[in-house]
Amino acid sequence: MTMIELAGLGKNFGALWAVKDLDLAVNAGELFGFLGPNGAGKTTTIRLMVGLLRPTTGTAAIAGHDIQQESLAARRSLGYLAQTPLLYDRLTGREFLRFIGGLYDLPDGESDARARDLLALMELDAKADDLIESYSGGMRHKIGLCAALLHRPPVLILDEPLVGMDPASSRRIKDALLGLRDGGTTIFLSTHMLEIAEQLCDRVAILDHGQLIAVGTVPELRAALTSQAGASLESLFLQLTQTETQD
Protein backbone atom coordinates (compact mmCIF):
# COMPACT_ATOMS: atom_id res chain seq x y z
CA MET A 1 0.00 0.00 0.00
CA THR A 2 1.32 3.45 -0.90
CA MET A 3 1.41 5.71 2.17
CA ILE A 4 3.07 8.76 0.63
CA GLU A 5 2.34 9.69 -2.94
CA LEU A 6 3.64 12.76 -4.70
CA ALA A 7 2.33 13.31 -8.23
CA GLY A 8 3.75 16.07 -10.43
CA LEU A 9 4.45 18.09 -7.29
CA GLY A 10 5.91 21.53 -7.94
CA LYS A 11 6.35 24.80 -6.13
CA ASN A 12 7.64 28.06 -7.46
CA PHE A 13 8.58 31.25 -5.64
CA GLY A 14 8.37 33.83 -8.41
CA ALA A 15 10.68 32.75 -11.19
CA LEU A 16 12.40 30.11 -9.05
CA TRP A 17 11.06 26.56 -9.07
CA ALA A 18 12.11 25.19 -5.68
CA VAL A 19 10.55 21.82 -6.50
CA LYS A 20 9.53 20.69 -10.00
CA ASP A 21 7.50 17.75 -11.32
CA LEU A 22 8.19 15.48 -8.40
CA ASP A 23 6.71 11.98 -8.67
CA LEU A 24 7.37 9.68 -5.75
CA ALA A 25 5.65 6.81 -3.97
CA VAL A 26 6.64 5.47 -0.55
CA ASN A 27 5.14 2.16 0.55
CA ALA A 28 3.79 1.14 3.94
CA GLY A 29 6.50 0.03 6.35
CA GLU A 30 9.26 1.56 4.29
CA LEU A 31 12.07 3.71 5.67
CA PHE A 32 12.70 6.13 2.86
CA GLY A 33 15.75 8.42 2.71
CA PHE A 34 15.46 11.81 1.05
CA LEU A 35 18.84 13.24 0.14
CA GLY A 36 20.15 16.29 -1.64
CA PRO A 37 22.71 19.07 -1.41
CA ASN A 38 21.93 22.35 0.40
CA GLY A 39 19.15 24.27 -1.31
CA ALA A 40 18.05 21.24 -3.35
CA GLY A 41 14.42 21.68 -2.21
CA LYS A 42 14.19 18.92 0.42
CA THR A 43 12.60 21.07 3.12
CA THR A 44 10.25 22.69 0.59
CA THR A 45 9.15 19.22 -0.51
CA ILE A 46 8.51 18.22 3.08
CA ARG A 47 6.54 21.41 3.76
CA LEU A 48 4.44 20.66 0.68
CA MET A 49 3.89 17.12 1.95
CA VAL A 50 2.68 18.22 5.39
CA GLY A 51 0.51 21.02 4.00
CA LEU A 52 2.46 24.05 5.19
CA LEU A 53 2.94 25.14 1.58
CA ARG A 54 0.38 24.95 -1.21
CA PRO A 55 1.73 23.27 -4.35
CA THR A 56 1.87 25.26 -7.57
CA THR A 57 1.39 22.02 -9.50
CA GLY A 58 0.53 18.44 -8.60
CA THR A 59 -0.62 16.79 -5.41
CA ALA A 60 0.70 15.17 -2.26
CA ALA A 61 -1.23 12.42 -0.52
CA ILE A 62 -0.64 10.91 2.93
CA ALA A 63 -2.21 7.52 3.65
CA GLY A 64 -4.42 7.98 0.62
CA HIS A 65 -5.67 11.44 1.64
CA ASP A 66 -4.78 14.52 -0.39
CA ILE A 67 -3.06 16.92 2.02
CA GLN A 68 -4.92 19.91 0.55
CA GLN A 69 -8.33 18.40 -0.17
CA GLU A 70 -8.67 16.03 2.81
CA SER A 71 -6.37 17.92 5.08
CA LEU A 72 -7.73 16.78 8.43
CA ALA A 73 -7.65 13.06 7.58
CA ALA A 74 -4.14 13.39 6.13
CA ARG A 75 -2.89 15.31 9.17
CA ARG A 76 -4.29 12.67 11.53
CA SER A 77 -2.09 10.11 9.80
CA LEU A 78 1.21 11.95 9.99
CA GLY A 79 3.83 12.86 12.55
CA TYR A 80 6.21 15.65 11.62
CA LEU A 81 9.53 16.79 13.00
CA ALA A 82 10.74 20.08 11.54
CA GLN A 83 14.41 20.84 10.94
CA THR A 84 14.25 23.35 13.80
CA PRO A 85 11.88 21.68 16.26
CA LEU A 86 8.72 23.68 16.92
CA LEU A 87 8.45 23.97 20.69
CA TYR A 88 6.97 26.21 23.37
CA ASP A 89 9.78 27.41 25.61
CA ARG A 90 7.55 28.28 28.55
CA LEU A 91 6.12 24.77 28.85
CA THR A 92 7.89 21.83 30.44
CA GLY A 93 8.62 18.81 28.29
CA ARG A 94 5.78 16.88 29.93
CA GLU A 95 3.29 19.74 29.53
CA PHE A 96 4.28 20.13 25.88
CA LEU A 97 3.59 16.46 25.18
CA ARG A 98 0.24 16.67 26.95
CA PHE A 99 -0.61 19.68 24.75
CA ILE A 100 0.33 17.73 21.63
CA GLY A 101 -1.71 14.76 22.86
CA GLY A 102 -4.70 17.08 23.24
CA LEU A 103 -4.33 18.34 19.68
CA TYR A 104 -4.46 14.73 18.47
CA ASP A 105 -7.50 13.91 20.65
CA LEU A 106 -5.64 11.56 22.98
CA PRO A 107 -7.21 11.27 26.44
CA ASP A 108 -4.93 12.84 29.09
CA GLY A 109 -4.24 9.51 30.83
CA GLU A 110 -3.21 7.78 27.64
CA SER A 111 -1.22 10.78 26.45
CA ASP A 112 0.67 10.93 29.77
CA ALA A 113 1.44 7.20 29.68
CA ARG A 114 2.78 7.38 26.11
CA ALA A 115 4.75 10.52 26.99
CA ARG A 116 6.33 8.71 29.94
CA ASP A 117 7.49 5.88 27.67
CA LEU A 118 8.82 8.22 24.99
CA LEU A 119 10.61 10.44 27.52
CA ALA A 120 12.26 7.34 28.96
CA LEU A 121 13.21 6.13 25.48
CA MET A 122 14.88 9.47 24.73
CA GLU A 123 16.39 9.63 28.23
CA LEU A 124 14.59 12.87 28.88
CA ASP A 125 12.64 11.69 31.92
CA ALA A 126 14.92 13.51 34.36
CA LYS A 127 14.34 16.78 32.47
CA ALA A 128 10.65 16.25 31.77
CA ASP A 129 9.58 18.85 34.33
CA ASP A 130 12.09 21.51 33.32
CA LEU A 131 11.03 24.34 31.05
CA ILE A 132 11.91 23.65 27.42
CA GLU A 133 13.79 26.98 27.26
CA SER A 134 16.53 25.33 29.32
CA TYR A 135 16.94 22.35 26.93
CA SER A 136 20.07 21.93 24.82
CA GLY A 137 19.88 21.61 21.01
CA GLY A 138 19.93 17.80 21.12
CA MET A 139 17.29 17.70 23.84
CA ARG A 140 15.06 19.99 21.79
CA HIS A 141 15.31 17.57 18.88
CA LYS A 142 14.48 14.67 21.17
CA ILE A 143 11.37 16.30 22.64
CA GLY A 144 10.31 17.27 19.11
CA LEU A 145 10.66 13.66 18.09
CA CYS A 146 8.63 12.55 21.13
CA ALA A 147 5.88 14.94 19.97
CA ALA A 148 5.96 13.53 16.43
CA LEU A 149 5.69 9.96 17.77
CA LEU A 150 3.14 10.58 20.51
CA HIS A 151 -0.02 9.79 18.53
CA ARG A 152 1.62 6.76 16.86
CA PRO A 153 1.11 7.98 13.31
CA PRO A 154 1.27 5.52 10.40
CA VAL A 155 3.45 8.05 8.50
CA LEU A 156 6.43 9.83 10.02
CA ILE A 157 8.06 12.73 8.19
CA LEU A 158 11.36 13.71 9.74
CA ASP A 159 13.52 16.61 8.59
CA GLU A 160 17.10 16.06 9.82
CA PRO A 161 16.10 14.20 13.01
CA LEU A 162 19.64 13.36 14.13
CA VAL A 163 21.16 16.84 14.01
CA GLY A 164 22.86 17.76 17.27
CA MET A 165 22.48 14.29 18.81
CA ASP A 166 25.30 12.68 20.74
CA PRO A 167 26.38 9.22 19.47
CA ALA A 168 24.45 7.32 22.13
CA SER A 169 21.20 9.22 21.49
CA SER A 170 21.73 8.92 17.77
CA ARG A 171 22.09 5.15 18.09
CA ARG A 172 18.98 4.91 20.27
CA ILE A 173 16.90 6.91 17.81
CA LYS A 174 18.15 4.89 14.86
CA ASP A 175 17.13 1.69 16.67
CA ALA A 176 13.75 3.24 17.50
CA LEU A 177 13.20 4.19 13.84
CA LEU A 178 14.06 0.68 12.69
CA GLY A 179 11.68 -0.71 15.33
CA LEU A 180 8.90 1.56 14.07
CA ARG A 181 9.60 0.60 10.49
CA ASP A 182 9.39 -3.08 11.46
CA GLY A 183 6.09 -2.33 13.18
CA GLY A 184 4.67 -1.02 9.88
CA THR A 185 5.25 2.73 10.21
CA THR A 186 6.24 4.51 7.02
CA ILE A 187 9.17 6.83 7.63
CA PHE A 188 10.25 9.61 5.30
CA LEU A 189 13.66 10.77 6.45
CA SER A 190 15.36 13.83 5.06
CA THR A 191 19.03 13.97 5.93
CA HIS A 192 22.44 15.25 4.98
CA MET A 193 24.11 12.32 6.69
CA LEU A 194 24.69 9.85 3.89
CA GLU A 195 26.04 7.10 6.14
CA ILE A 196 22.77 7.18 8.11
CA ALA A 197 20.76 6.88 4.92
CA GLU A 198 22.98 4.02 3.82
CA GLN A 199 22.61 2.23 7.18
CA LEU A 200 18.91 2.72 7.72
CA CYS A 201 16.98 3.34 4.56
CA ASP A 202 15.28 0.75 2.44
CA ARG A 203 15.28 3.13 -0.51
CA VAL A 204 16.64 6.60 -1.11
CA ALA A 205 15.76 9.46 -3.41
CA ILE A 206 18.22 12.16 -4.42
CA LEU A 207 16.93 15.62 -5.15
CA ASP A 208 18.92 18.36 -6.86
CA HIS A 209 17.75 21.77 -8.04
CA GLY A 210 14.22 20.79 -7.09
CA GLN A 211 14.15 17.72 -9.33
CA LEU A 212 14.40 14.06 -8.55
CA ILE A 213 17.59 12.68 -10.09
CA ALA A 214 17.62 9.16 -8.64
CA VAL A 215 15.37 6.78 -6.71
CA GLY A 216 16.05 3.25 -5.59
CA THR A 217 17.88 1.05 -3.12
CA VAL A 218 21.57 1.78 -2.65
CA PRO A 219 22.59 -1.37 -4.58
CA GLU A 220 20.26 -0.37 -7.43
CA LEU A 221 21.81 3.09 -7.64
CA ARG A 222 25.27 1.55 -7.47
CA ALA A 223 24.44 -0.82 -10.30
CA ALA A 224 23.01 1.93 -12.43
CA LEU A 225 25.80 4.43 -11.92
CA THR A 226 29.08 2.64 -11.45
CA SER A 227 30.87 -0.59 -12.13
CA GLN A 228 32.53 -0.42 -8.67
CA ALA A 229 30.91 -3.07 -6.49
CA GLY A 230 31.58 -1.40 -3.17
CA ALA A 231 30.97 2.22 -4.13
CA SER A 232 29.61 4.14 -1.16
CA LEU A 233 26.43 6.17 -1.19
CA GLU A 234 28.60 9.25 -0.71
CA SER A 235 30.50 8.64 -3.95
CA LEU A 236 27.24 7.90 -5.79
CA PHE A 237 25.69 11.06 -4.34
CA LEU A 238 28.65 13.20 -5.37
CA GLN A 239 28.72 11.64 -8.81
CA LEU A 240 25.03 12.34 -9.32
CA THR A 241 24.87 15.85 -7.93
CA GLN A 242 28.12 17.01 -9.54
CA THR A 243 27.01 15.70 -12.92
CA GLU A 244 23.79 17.66 -12.46
CA THR A 245 25.71 20.80 -11.55
CA GLN A 246 27.95 20.44 -14.61
CA ASP A 247 24.87 19.93 -16.81
Partner 1 sequence: MLTFWKVVRPTCWMLDRRVRAIDRRIVIGVVIVLGLGGQWLYGALRGRESLLAGDRGDAIAALTVVFGGLFILLLAFVNVSSVLYRLYLAPDLDLLMVAPIPRCVVFAVKLVQCSPGAVLPAIPIGIALAWFGLARDAGWAYYVLLALLLLAMVVFVTSTVMGAILLITRTIPAARIRTWIPVILALVPLVFVFGQQRFTAWFSGQADLHGTIARALVDEGDLAWIAGGGVALAAAVCLAAYHVFNRAFAEGWNRYREVAPVPARRRAAPAWTPPLPARLRPVMAKEWLEIRRDPHSLLNLLQPAILVVLFLAPLGGRDAVDLLRPIFFWFMLIFVPWFIGVAALGFAVTAIIREGPNLALLRVAPTSMSAVLRGKLYTTWGAMVIPWTVVLAATGVLLRFAWWQIALLLAAATVSLASMTPLTIGLGALRADFTARDVVKRIPTGARYVMIALNALYAGWLFATVAWLIAHGFRESDSFKVIEVFQGLPPVRALLSDAAWVPLLLAAGHVLVDVGLVRLWAAAVRRLERIEI
How long a stretch of residues is the chain? Answer: 247
Find the shortest distance in angstroms from Cβ 133 to partner 1: 7
Contact footprint for partner 1 (CB under 8 A): 47, 50-54, 72-73, 75-76, 78, 80, 82, 84, 86-88, 90-92, 95, 98-105, 127, 129-131, 133-134, 147
Amino acid at 139: M
Nearer to partner 1, 166 or 175 (CB): 166
At 145, the amino acid letter reads: L
Q: With 0-12 CB in 10 A as exposed, 13-18 as middle and 19+ as buried, what is 163? A: middle
The rounded distance, in Å, linking the Cα atoms of 34 and 45 is: 10
Q: From the CB of 78, what's the least distance to partner 1, in Å?
A: 7
Choice between 76 and 192, CB closer to partner 1: 76
Q: Which is nearer to partner 1, 140 or 222 (CB)?
A: 140
**Contact (Cβ atoms closer than 8 angstroms) between residue 11 and residue 55:** yes
Residue type, 162: L
How far apart CA 202 and CA 233 sit, in angstroms, is 13
Instruction: Give the shortest CB-223-to-partner 1 separation in angstroms.
Output: 37
Closer of 92 and 169 to partner 1 (Cβ) = 92
Task: Tell me whether residue 160 or residue 208 sits nearer to partner 1 (CB atom).
Answer: 160
Closest separation between CB of residue 72 and partner 1, Å?
5
Alpha-carbon gap, residue 81 to 78, rounded angstroms? 10
Using the minimum distance from each CB to partner 1, give the nearer residue, 112 or 202. 112
Contacts 24+ apart (CB under 8 A), 23-28: 23/212, 24/205, 24/212, 24/215, 26/2, 26/186, 26/188, 26/203, 27/1, 27/2, 27/3, 27/186, 28/1, 28/2, 28/3, 28/154, 28/184, 28/186
Minimum CB separation of residue 34 from partner 1 in Å reads 17
Shortest Cβ distance from residue 112 to partner 1 (Å)? 9
